[in-house]
Amino acid sequence: MPELAIDLSEAKGFLRGKGAKTCIVQIPEGLKARAKWISDELSQACENVFVKMDPCFGACDLPLQDLNALNADAIIHIGHEAIHRPKNIFYAPLRYEITDAELEKICGKLVKELQKRKMDSIALVANAQFIHALPELRKILFRSGIQSNIGKGTQRVCGEGQILGCNYSAVKAVQPSVDANVYFGDGMFHPLGLLYGTKKPVIVVNPLHGTVEEIPEKTRDTFMRRRFAAIAKASEARSFGIVVSAKSGQRQKEKALELRKAVERQGRKAYLFEADYVNENYFTGSGVDCLVITACNRIVIDDSQNWKTIIINPTECLIAIGEKTFDEWVPDEFA
Ligand code: SF4
């Protein structure tokens, strides 16, 4: 099974090159158990290493204000590819190491699946932990007569073929010429975004489980049923809280102002809320009937079941107030 590799040698070189005395290191939630090791490693290159313990879900969430607060020289962001590229930030993405044998094996399954469906031109995409494998995957597929297209996304995504839950531009760039989209990675969040963002079949290649499959019908149905149920409830709301995140890569003030106008145009009340960490506890007692989250769309998609208040994404808000139709549901993206 592929292993997750943490390589901090370049991060240490970056800190030494800057002569950094103080740095802040951000670690994804799943890696907090390795915080001591990471701190020890970086301490070889920098005297004061502060491990940021607030939750961090992506490269959209940099603690820029902490640079001043701690008089720090740099941020080392572990786990994700770059979104912003300020000079004093170093990104150390995490990658799964996949052996040639593992790649050949899973690719064999993929070829069979594509041949069965008579698909010979595909878009190949991955999340940040797997994009390094795409060029080799393309070569193997080519030998079997399958043309793979690896698109280049907007500035928000770094590597070719990389998609984020909030940006599918790399796959959209190659849509006209493909029969299907092949996602190389784990989880169903990105594949569902691909499916509803492109309206083309999505084959999920999961190198961790060694599986190749289309998104199961039950997964698709449950997903859409939940979204439509939330929109139906939101359509009865009289007051909306439009939530803007303070996070550097999730801030969408203009979108929030547009939504407020749209809500008011439809004769309902809208209030603007701002929060850094968008968490249900902070909104208890706000008194609005529905919250529209303009920050990371994953908050709504992954977590709405756990909120007592109805939470929806911007496109869903427009559907709820009658400015768009259900057929126009797409995942909300950052340009
Ligand atoms: S906004 Fe959400 S999906 Fe986009 S990079 Fe940040 S955490 Fe990932």
Is the domain defined by 224-328 classed in CATH 3.40.50.11860?
Answer: yes
Residue 335 above 80 pLDDT? Answer: no
Nearest to 297 by CA among 155, 204, 219, 196: 196
Q: Is 213 exposed, middle or buried (0-12, 13-18, 19+ CB in 10 A)?
A: middle
Please tell me the predicted confidence (pLDDT) of residue 133: 94
What CATH class is the domain 3-94? alpha beta
Residue 90 above 80 pLDDT? Answer: yes
Rounded to whole angstroms, the Cα distance separating 272 from 69 reads 27
Q: What is the pTM of this model?
A: 0.93
Residue 83 above 90 pLDDT? Answer: no
Task: Please answer whether residues 151 and 121 qualify as being in contact, where contact means their C-beta atoms are separated by less than 8 angstroms.
Answer: no
Rounded to whole angstroms, the Cα distance separating 191 from 108 reads 21
Which CATH topology does 100-215 take?
Rossmann fold (3.40.50)
The domain segmentation of the chain, as residue ranges, is 3-94, 100-215, 224-328
Q: How far is CA 22 from CA 36, 45, 68, in A?
A: 16, 10, 11
As given in the structure block, the two tokens for residue 91 are 């990104």
- Helices (H) and strands (E) counted in the chain, each on its own, are 12, 15
Name the percent of the chain lying above pLDDT 70. 100
The arithmetic mean of pLDDT across residues 103-125, rounded, is 95
Distance 195 CA to ligand 1 centre (A): 18
As given in the structure block, the two tokens for residue 48 are 């004061």
Name the percent of the chain lying above pLDDT 90. 88
Q: How far is CA 209 from CA 1, 131, 154, 191, 205, in A?
A: 8, 17, 30, 16, 9
Please tell me the predicted confidence (pLDDT) of residue 86: 79
Please state, rounded to an integer, the average pLDDT across all residues of the chain.
94
Residue 4 above 90 pLDDT? Answer: no
Give tens-digit pLDDT for 252-261: 999 999 999 9
Whether 3-94 shares its CATH topology with 224-328 is answered yes
Which ligand 1 atom is the nearest neighbour of the CA of 57?
7
Mutation pick for ligand 1 pocket among 26, 29, 54, 57 (CB with most ligand atoms within 8 Å) = 57
Residue 85 above 80 pLDDT? Answer: no
Mutation pick for ligand 1 pocket among 77, 169, 250 (CB with most ligand atoms within 8 Å) = 250
Please tell me the predicted confidence (pLDDT) of residue 1: 78
Residue 92 above 80 pLDDT? Answer: yes
User: Is residue 164 lining ligand 1, measured as CB closer than 6 Å?
Assistant: yes
Please tell me the predicted confidence (pLDDT) of residue 159: 82
Nearest CA to ligand 1 atom 7: 58
